[in-house]
Structure 1
């Protein structure tokens, strides 16, 4: 036993953890609260109504700090503003170009911030994608009709003219030879 104590590595003092590596890599548990915050919550538990009343009284008496606190709670900081921009109706690919011209001229005039212009451009792009998807579907339907395949994909895998002798379950039994 004495040999084990003598042969054990010396105790590290000062910086016991490897430099650049956390002693707690998982970090603090999610949702855990600071002890000081918990203590303050316990002290203020039954006093929130009285404190709110006092803050309002001080604000009405002209205390600038209390006034600012009350105003910040009543009227929170507005993160975004409503943007009024008269975009032309977007019903075709040509309309998308006109809408983007409207957005870029409003940006150049200073009527829109770059962030607002970007968000509006995303909406216009969404319209453009929807128009493109609709056009592609119409084109595919027209091509199927041109080649006489417009009823080819009716959902059950059978030709609609021969539906009385077609069993969808036979589709895997088809042998071309």
Structure 2
């Protein structure tokens, strides 16, 4: 990349000050010349933009034109890719298959997990996941994913249990009020 000298605006905004011959000569009192204080903080007053013209226009128009070109040619490109795949081009076949039938992100796990219907069942299920990881039936990452699922299930079970407890307390409270009246 070629070097380009900074513009006057860039120099002014960065606090750069051009040296002049008078800067080297002491003033009448014999002391060093006074320097302008360096601007710290905002280079422009609040509410005044450093770019009053705004962002240059036209970039979105270029992208729209490229999108239009792509849309116009998409059908023909797809037809050519299908022809190449039929002719035995493995790369074209791979491209089409990856779009039509994407690779799965995970795999079905093949190990027995005990049923978890109550909060008390969770430690046994977690122990089964740990055993499956230690035996090499599932990877540690898959074990983490299963543990996260069990944790989510625990939250659901807790919420369900709390809702049932609140409903039972409301019934008891209503029964107490009925007896008092």
Task: Answer yes or no: is 1:154 the counterpart of 2:180.
Answer: no
Task: Answer yes or no: is 1:12 the counterpart of 2:14.
Answer: no
C-alpha offsets along residues 124-149 of structure 1, whole Å, 9 cap, x if unaligned? 234444555638966xx6xx7xxxx9
Counterpart of 1:49 in structure 2 is 75
1:92–1:70: structure 2 CA closer, same or farther, 3 Å change rule? Answer: closer
Offset at residue 16 of structure 1 (A): 6.4
Offset at residue 13 of structure 1 (A): 5.1
Give the whole-Å Cα distance in 1 for the aligned partners of 2:100 and 2:171.
Answer: 62
5+ residue gaps, structure 2, are 1-6, 16-49
C-alpha offsets along residues 85-126 of structure 1, whole Å, 9 cap, x if unaligned? 321122445422221111011111222222321222123234
TM-score (norm 1): 0.55
Counterpart of 2:129 in structure 1 is 103
105, 125, 144: which is aligned to 2:151? 125
Counterpart of 2:3 in structure 1 is none
Counterpart of 1:76 in structure 2 is 102
1:43–1:124: structure 2 CA closer, same or farther, 3 Å change rule? Answer: closer
1:44–1:130: structure 2 CA closer, same or farther, 3 Å change rule? Answer: closer
C-alpha offsets along residues 18-50 of structure 1, whole Å, 9 cap, x if unaligned? 9xxxx99xxx9xxx8693x53332223333222
Counterpart of 1:63 in structure 2 is 89
> 1:27-42, aligned counterparts within 5 Å?
35=62, 37-42=63-68
5+ residue gaps, structure 1, are 1-9, 164-177
TM-score (norm 2): 0.54
